[in-house]
Amino acid sequence: MSARRSRADVVAEIERTGVVAVMRLHDASLGRDAARALADGGLTALEVTMTVPRATELIAELAASLPAECVIGAGTVVDASAARDVIHAGAAFVVSPVLVPQVVDVCRESNVAVVPGCFSPTEIFSASAAGADIVKVFPATSLGPSFIRDLRAPLPDLKLMPTGGVTRQNAGDWIRAGAVAIGVGTALIDAQAVRDRRFDLLTGAARYFIRAVAEARSTPAGVRT
């Protein structure tokens, strides 16, 4: 395994492309090929959720085998023990669906980027105050891009990453609203394509979302391309 990248470097890499690929796979044996396909499309931030069979093993494998610019994260981490396990395996960032202070503490102690999931403004502010590097706004399906814009008006320093409900159609809207990145699952990693080993489709989807983020960043707020 290569030397662990600093927390600040990992956060900067997530912000650079603006896309975190959320890998919820039913077959871990396809994880390496899926991850390589996403990396071939330019995606460097890959999150392996703990719902994937043998997720910790897959994280270790990807951390050791993917190009150096890739940062491998662990998702759906809901307790301190799991956080320690995935960090030991090589996770460069840890994502939770909810705010678990103990997970934040473990990550901070280990100098690993942490991205807790929150829904309400109070939760989001509390997570940021507790040391979250980026706050995952989840489930974003219920909120919409205007929520990001409205929240950042009084709290412009918040780093927000909507996840859940991010699609090809609205990817740019989240970025224009002020999100530093988007977490994308099924709209990026099509389960049937993975089962059929059509990894070229994942590469194409990765390129699409990276392009959508780049275009949104170059477009004034309120203007859609």
Return the domain boundaries, the chain: 7-215
Alpha carbon distance 62, 90 (integer Å): 9
**Is-catalytic flag, 159?**
no
User: Does domain 7-215 bear CATH number 3.30.365.10?
Assistant: no
Angle at 77 between CA 36 and CA 110, to 5 degrees: 85
Q: Which residue has the tokens 């991205």?
A: 115
Q: Active-site residue among 13, 61, 136, 159? A: 136
pLDDT tens digits, residue range 24-40? 999 999 999 999 999 99
Alpha carbon distance 87, 1 (integer Å): 12
CB burial of residue 4 (10 Å; 0-12, 13-18, 19+) = middle
Q: Active-site residue among 13, 47, 61, 159? A: 47
Is a pLDDT exceeding 70 seen at residue 222?
no
pLDDT, position 203: 98
**Is-catalytic flag, 47?**
yes
Is a pLDDT exceeding 70 seen at residue 115?
yes
pLDDT tens digits, residue range 146-173? 999 999 999 999 999 999 999 999 999 9
With residue 85 as reference, give the H or E element that holds it.
helix 80-89
Angle at 79 between CA 74 and CA 81, to 5 degrees: 85
pTM: 0.95
pLDDT, position 4: 79
Is a pLDDT exceeding 60 seen at residue 223?
no
